[in-house]
Amino acid sequence: MEHNTVKPYKSAGSKKNQVEEMFDNIAPKYDLLNHVLSMKIDVSWRKKLVHWLKMDHPKRVLDVATGTGDLALAINKGTHAQVVGYDLAQQMLNVGIEKIKKAGLEDQIQMMKGDAEKMPFKDNEFDAITAAFGVRNFENLQQGLAEMKRVVKHQGNVFILEFSKVEGWMSPLYMFYFKQILPVIGKIISKDNCAYTYLPDSVNAFPYGEKMKNILLELGFSKVEYRKLSLGIATLYKATK
């Protein structure tokens, strides 16, 4: 199954519209669920992305699929860069805007609603681009990645943190948790019947590792590196324009 055919809801309508609806639905409980379901390991994954990004000394960063702004906040804290957080779902952005206000960082982090596959930014506008757990939700993966390449500066880097698949002896245990337990907890807390069934289905259908590296190279990135995190639960990619 192609990743772009996996949709949150079984109804008609584009993946893009369904993803926006799903994240608007679960926005109030999203952060709680993230930390509960990942046992807060997602915090350390973001730190690893920021550590890698820091080496570039970026002044202006675009965080695509920013959601509730956790990565945008971590980037600003770790690099002191100006950050634009960009997302399709207004309710997720609203949660992020409150966090940014609470931290007193309104002059450092700007939140914008929009489509990652058609961004309103100029070519070569940002020193670096980041995306954590967002590219899997693109309706057209190549189009979204091409847009990220377009708006990053020449020789700038795009950092993508995304779920992948655990391999080896841990795989059956992890898949049992991911497919049987996680959707039940997600449904109880979020009150959305489909959001956390969509998560394992979308991860299962998504290219990772060498496949993802090859997609990025085919789009014209000059160099792609990646690191598996937590036995392959997630993978961190760095694609150089």
139-159 pLDDT, tens per residue? 999 999 999 999 999 999 999
CA nearest neighbour of 127 among 93, 156, 161, 97: 156
Residue 240 counted as an annotated binding residue: no
**AA letter at 125:** E
The answer on pLDDT for 91 being more than 80 is yes
C-alpha distance from residue 230 to each of 42, 53, 93, 185 (Å): 10, 19, 28, 21
Q: What is the mean pLDDT of residues 86-114?
A: 98
Distance CA 151, CA 156 (A): 10
At 2 the pLDDT is 59
User: Which run of H or E residues covers position 132?
Assistant: strand 126-132
CA 24 vs. chain centroid, Å, equals 16
At 210 the pLDDT is 97
| Count of CB atoms situated within 10 Å of the CB of 211 | 11
The answer on pLDDT for 115 being more than 70 is yes
Q: What is the mean pLDDT of residues 51-80?
A: 97
At 86 the pLDDT is 98
Distance CA 131, CA 161 (A): 6
At 4 the pLDDT is 61
CA nearest neighbour of 98 among 109, 82, 87: 109
- pLDDT interval class at 168 (50, 70, 90): confident
Residue 107 counted as an annotated binding residue: no
Q: Which two tokens stand for residue 21?
A: 């609806």
What average pLDDT does the structure give for the chain?
A: 94
Q: Which tens digits make up the pLDDT trace of 32-48?
A: 888 887 878 999 999 99
- The domain limits of the chain are 14-165+206-240
User: Which run of H or E residues covers position 222?
Assistant: none
Cβ(221)–Cβ(45) under 8 Å? Answer: no
Distance CA 34, CA 115 (A): 23
The answer on pLDDT for 1 being more than 60 is no
Q: Which tens digits make up the pLDDT trace of 182-210?
A: 999 989 988 988 888 998 899 989 999 99
Architecture of domain 14-165+206-240: 3-Layer(aba) Sandwich (3.40)
- pTM: predicted TM-score of the whole model, two decimal places: 0.94
Residue 115 counted as an annotated binding residue: yes
Cβ(207)–Cβ(215) under 8 Å? Answer: yes
Residue 31 counted as an annotated binding residue: no
Residue tagged 């020449």 (tokens): 154
- pLDDT interval class at 6 (50, 70, 90): confident
